[in-house]
Amino acid sequence: MPYLRLLILLPALVGYPLRAGAQTEQENGETVEKTGPNVIQRIVESSEGNVEILIDDELMEKILTPPTAHKKASTGNRPAIRPGLNKISGYRIQVFSDGRNQHSLESRARARGNAITAKFPKYRGQVYTFSSAPNWYTRVGNFQTASEASEALVELRRSFPSFADEMRVVKCQIIVLK
């Protein structure tokens, strides 16, 4: 494993108050406390003032690279995704939106979502049916980019021509699990 050699000069630190453990001795029945040279003095004396620290090249690169560069390199223009549940700005496909016939709106919205998951199991757990009075909506997917959502929209429109005209890509908060 390659390492970067880092030399540190310690003579400037000799006065730093790190002390070795106190030693007690008995002289003529009296306890006398002695302290040895401080830790840094012992290191300076044994190493002639030079200490060599070996640091892995990958770790040194992470230390020297600014934090913003880490995020850009790993995620491009997308926000950083951390382990666990993430709510980020993204896209979904709206497959149902209606405010007429109030007594059957919820059941029709849920039926539309069920039809999609029956034909596309990959969207199971990604169908969102909700109400914002007086309308009901059903949205599908958690797409991080507009191009991903557009590709899925084409696929869904081909599979469901009877309501293809109602489908559209909408920008909203999505859920990403890592």
pLDDT tens column, 99-148: 887 778 889 999 999 999 999 999 999 999 998 888 899 999 999 999 99
Sequence-ordered list of residues with C-beta below 8 angstroms from that of 151, at least 6 positions apart, any chain: none
Question: According to DSSP H, which parts of the chain are helical?
Answer: 39-47, 57-64, 67-75, 105-119, 146-159
**Cβ atoms of 139 and 172 closer than 8 Å:** yes
Tokens 């991903």 belong to: 148
Average pLDDT for the chain: 77
Most confident by average pLDDT, 34-43, 71-80, 168-177: 168-177
Q: Report CA 146 to chain centroid distance, whole Å.
A: 21
State yes or no: pLDDT of 43 exceeds 90.
no
pTM above 0.85, yes or no: no
Number of helices (H), then strands (E), in the chain: 5, 8
What is residue 100's DSSP assignment? S
pLDDT attached to residue 83: 77
